[in-house]
């Protein structure tokens, strides 16, 4: 395996992960502002980036298999193990940088997912109030049993 080919692929990963990190931050900003117009554009951009990252991962794995690495030893973490004895410190540093960026992007994606989830809950709660339905799961009746279902109250009758 040619280290320059691997280095080029890893450099491409790093650049794509930098761009993904920027998109995830912009996505968070749009979610917080509820800017759906720009959010749609960012989601398309994110999907394109993820596809490119997956393609690059597939190509890197194929390159490693052609170099003799077993199919189950072609992930980034396995590549790290293969490079432990390498004298190419630039490649090792680049791989560490990529692993950190992947971790950072995963954390940002999880944060955005939490924002979306909370937004959905808040929207559902507002709709329930406007519709006059309110979930009462877990409340006790005068007989000591729990109520199931919803209590119906029209907003105009309150």
Q: Which range among 41-55, 68-82, 129-143 shows the weakest confidence by mean pLDDT?
A: 129-143
- Asked if residue 121 is part of any domain, the answer here is yes
- The model's confidence at residue 151, banded by pLDDT at 50, 70 and 90, is low
Give which of 92, 90, 26, 24 is closest to 53, Cα–Cα. 24
* Confidence (pTM): 0.75
Number of domains in the chain: 1
Backbone angles phi, psi at 134, to 5 degrees: -135, 125
Gap between the Cα atoms of 116 and 94, Å rounded = 33
- The model's confidence at residue 137, banded by pLDDT at 50, 70 and 90, is low
Q: Which residues pair with 152 in a beta bridge?
A: 133
Gap between the Cα atoms of 56 and 19, Å rounded = 15
Average pLDDT over residues 26-33: 94
Average pLDDT over residues 104-132: 90
Boundaries of domain holding 102: 3-131
Report the CATH number that the domain containing residue 78 is assigned in CATH: 1.20.58.300
Residue 81, classed as helix, strand or coil, is: helix
């Amino acid at each position: 395996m040619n280290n320059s080919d691997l280095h080029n692929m890893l450099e491409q990963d790093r650049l794509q992960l930098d761009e993904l990190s920027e998109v995830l931050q912009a996505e968070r900003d749009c979610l917080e502002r509820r800017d759906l117009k720009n959010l749609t554009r960012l989601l398309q951009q994110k999907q394109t980036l993820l596809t490119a990252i997956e393609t690059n991962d597939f190509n890197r794995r194929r390159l490693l298999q052609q170099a003799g690495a077993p199919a189950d030893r072609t992930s980034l973490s396995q590549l790290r193990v293969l490079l432990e004895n390498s004298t190419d410190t630039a490649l090792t540093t680049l791989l560490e940088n990529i692993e950190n960026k992947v971790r950072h992007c995963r954390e940002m994606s999880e944060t955005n997912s939490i924002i979306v989830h909370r937004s959905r809950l808040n929207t559902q709660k507002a709709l329930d109030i406007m519709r006059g339905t309110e979930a009462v799961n877990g409340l006790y009746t005068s007989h000591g049993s729990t109520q199931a279902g919803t209590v119906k109250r029209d907003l105009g009758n309150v």
